[in-house]
Structure 1
Amino acid sequence: MVTKPEKWQQINVVLVVDDDDNWCFVSKKILQKAGVGKDIITANNGQQALEILQAFAAEGKKLPELIFLDIKMPLMDGFQFLEIATKSAELDLSRTKIFVCSSSFLSKDKDRAKQYPVAGFITKPLTLEILRDILPSD
């Protein structure tokens, strides 16, 4: 009997944006274990993530289906990234689910995230259970 893969197992590209290399590594391992994303890319800040997305768009590549975005990072934080990326004419994020991932428990951070087209706010760490809760299945 052939089982039909769940929708989240059909995700090709995931972008993890966080200045903590350990969190990027662990998130990548969890995503791989869950079978989410054939290609998991990491960026250490919002500026680097923006450059990755702009390069994808310039090359005509499909943008990541999922972005896990920290909010507190040097150079360009997650909110600055959201402000630029979601208003950019060259980036069509309409098929990208962005999840803000933070260790913050502050309601002001959650409220601010709601000002952008994000799919949700996740309190770190990312777990298999959280993935099952946030990603659609058939």
Structure 2
Amino acid sequence: MQKLSCILLVDDDPITNFLNQRLLDELKLTEKLLVALNGKEAITLIEEHCVDRQGCPALILLDVNMPVMNGFDFLDAYAQLPVAQQHPSVVIMLTTSLHPRDVQRVEQLQIGGFLNKPLTKEKVDSILAQHFGQQAD
């Protein structure tokens, strides 16, 4: 399997981030795993690490409900970044929120998908197959 250039986890729960990091490390999907506790931190990480399309996250796993800047606000800010810093990222909303308002709003977004927590190997395999044409080892 070809490793992804970079994965960005965005979640305000340190335990969720720890578990997701562990899973992604075990699957050996990337050498570069960035973690942000809210959307604002995520935008800053993208601006710092994504230079001339190098270091840009290939995959962003994004929580919906977070303090400071939630997932929807992150997507608005992300859309304002220079195109080189947006491409070729696949954004997957990963959340526990099944509120009909959130589900409806997510369905209207131009993102790669909407998955319920927790992140599992099966969900990662599905993301890899659908968006990257590959499967975890």
Normalized against structure 1, the TM-score is what? 0.85
**2-structure distance, mates of 1:95, 1:114:** 20
Structure 1 range deviating more: 105-114 or 93-102? 105-114
Q: 1 CA distance for matches of 2:65 and 2:40?
A: 13
Deviation at 1:107, TM superposition (A): 2.9
| Identity over aligned pairs, percent | 28
Residue 97 (structure 2) pairs with residue 112 (structure 1): no
- 1:78-121 Cα deviation digits (max 9, x unpaired): 10000110232355423111100100112321221233321000
Structure 1 gap ranges (5+): none
Q: What is the alpha-carbon distance in structure 2 between the residues aligned to residue 118 and residue 75 of structure 1?
A: 21
Gaps of 5+ in 2: none
SS in 2 for 1:72: coil
> Distance between the aligned counterparts of 2:31 and 2:7, measured in 1?
8
Q: Which has more radius of gyration?
A: 1
Q: 1:32, 1:117 → 2: CA distance?
A: 28
| Aligned equivalent of 1:44, options 16, 37, 46 | 37
Tell me the residue number matched to 2:73: 80
Q: State yes or no: 1:131 paired with 2:124.
A: yes
2:17 to 10, 13, 24: 24
Aligned residues: 130
Runs of 4+ in 1 over 6 A off after TM superposition: none
Q: Secondary structure at the match of 2:60?
A: strand
Q: Distance in 1 between matches of 2:107 and 2:74?
A: 14
RMSD over aligned CA atoms reads 1.7
Alignment equivalent of 1:98, drawn from 82, 91, 94: 91
> Counterparts of 1:112 and 1:37 in 2: how far apart (Å)?
30
More off after superposition, 81-90 vs 128-137: 81-90
CA distance in 2, matches of 1:116, 1:10: 27
